Structure 1
Amino acid sequence: MKKKQKMKMSFRVLILSLFALVCFSGNAQVFEITPTYGYQFGSKLNYGPNYLKMEDSGMFGITLGYEVRRNYMLEATYMNMGSELRIKDRIASPRESRLADLNADWFMFGGTRYFGNDKVKPFFGGQMGFSVFSPDDVDRTIAPRGLDSITKFSFGFKGGVVVMLSDKIGLNFQGNLLFPVQWGGFYVGAGSGGISSGVNAGSTLVLGGFSGGLVFRLGA
């Protein structure tokens, strides 16, 4: 899928998410828009003596939220990470090598509980949804058949603090943990004689990171 198509799909999902939030939050008094940018730590997926590794990367996102009751927000979040996928495989790549660029899109739905006062508000939240991992510019000497995108059920947690600069604008600082369940399933083929190795691990990958952003608070 081309990058422009992915962006169009992401905006469509956000619009649908916003519509869903409006429908399920008819009595909401406050609407928040929170764009963020941060740093996401990579992770490693082991399969036997071999591994696939997702490198550290930047991460941007946007969260749309409605206050369903005071200090309780119902939210839809989109996040994107552009990373690099590396591999060490005793057949395909005995030494660690770059396998492909890797784009990760996250579409998450959940809620956040705020604490504190109107100026400084610590928060904690949970999310669930799905993530799409899309390899690009694959090294065909390692994976001659290329790599397909994979979609996984995902969940996550976040915590941090919002510092309001005024009634309408604030600063968001947060850390997050993301869990794509049973991440894996990339197929890697190697060897002129048709020798191949499969990567189909069943473990849950854990990705942690932190970010900052602006909070635009609209409504009463």
Structure 2
Amino acid sequence: MISKLKGVLCVLALIVFVAGHSQSVEIIPSYGYQFGTKLNYGPNYLKAKDSDQFGIYAGFGASDYMKIGVSYTRMSTELRIRDRIASPSESRLSDLAYDWFLIGATRYFKTDKVRPFAGGGLGIVVITPSDVDTSIATRGLDSATRFAFNFKAGVNIMFSDRVGLNLQGNLFFPVEWGGIYVGGGSGGVSGGVSAATTTILGGFSGGLVFLLGD
């Protein structure tokens, strides 16, 4: 919880700093749908279910066609497991939250009422299990912070010079997936947040666009 709070404060501080040195600011609060993902380990697997996501993006104008921005995105889902020793049939393992803090760039291809764009970012993701089923994970599950990056593409449809609608698709990549390192045995599942592979979390979102400044 403390690490997430520090991350949010860092994002807010960066927004305030850059806004003070920028003539154009783009604010986009958003809400969307996140597809689930699955991580296989041997004959077993972990599965994060589909979920919602919400976030906020602040872009600062380097030019009419380019924005440098910071974003925060929150995903909350349920983690399920099938393990031939600890859980032979698929069962709920824990709740799982992803908090993404990213810095990146957005390239607009038009600057009129309909503004298609593409972009990406780099940063960190904080992965936090909670309400763990200790009959399966007998020693609990730990949180972790991983480097991460994302890609996005979509369109802003402007109703006026200041307000519009944002529609976009999102791909999020933890450099190491925030799954669970699983060690099965007679004592159940144990582990922390670590994995040997990267997975993709894809989804889409919509929001409002607010343009401030010149």
Note if 1:82 corresponds to 2:76. yes
Give 3-state SS (helix, strand or coil) of 1:69's partner.
coil
1:77-125 per-residue CA deviation (whole Å, 9 max, x = no partner) reads: 0000110000111111111100001111000110000112421000000
1:153-187 per-residue CA deviation (whole Å, 9 max, x = no partner) reads: 11110000000101110100000111111214624
| Partner AA of 2:209 in structure 1 | V
Instruction: Report 1:114-129 matches (<5 A).
Output: 114-129=108-123
Note if 1:171 corresponds to 2:183. no
- Of 149, 173, 190, which residue of structure 1 is paired with 2:143? 149
Note if 1:46 corresponds to 2:40. yes
Note if 1:18 corresponds to 2:12. no
Name the TM-score, length of structure 1 as normaliser.
0.89
User: 1:213 and 1:6, CA in 2 relative to 1: closer, same or farther beyond 3 A?
Assistant: farther
Provide the C-alpha distance between the structure 1 equivalents of 2:127 and 2:71, rounded to a whole number of angstroms: 17
Tell me what 2:197 maps to.
203
Tell me what 1:136 maps to.
130
Provide the C-alpha distance between the structure 1 equivalents of 2:82 and 2:53, rounded to a whole number of angstroms: 25
- Of 98, 101, 104, which residue of structure 2 is paired with 1:107? 101
Q: Which runs of 5+ in 2 are unaligned?
A: none
Provide the alpha-carbon RMSD of the alignment: 2.1
- Cα offset, 1:8, TM superposition: 4.0
Name the TM-score, length of structure 2 as normaliser.
0.91
1:88 and 1:97 in contact (8 A); partners too: yes
| Partner AA of 2:202 in structure 1 | G
1:82 and 1:102 in contact (8 A); partners too: yes
1:184 and 1:202 in contact (8 A); partners too: no
Moved over 2 A (4+): 5-11, 19-23, 184-191, 193-201
Provide the C-alpha distance between the structure 1 equivalents of 2:47 and 2:117, rounded to a whole number of angstroms: 31
1:144 and 1:190 in contact (8 A); partners too: no
Aligned residues: 213
User: 1:215 and 1:196, CA in 2 relative to 1: closer, same or farther beyond 3 A?
Assistant: closer
- Of 62, 65, 71, which residue of structure 2 is paired with 1:71? 65
- Cα offset, 1:140, TM superposition: 0.5
2:58 and 2:69 in contact (8 A); partners too: yes
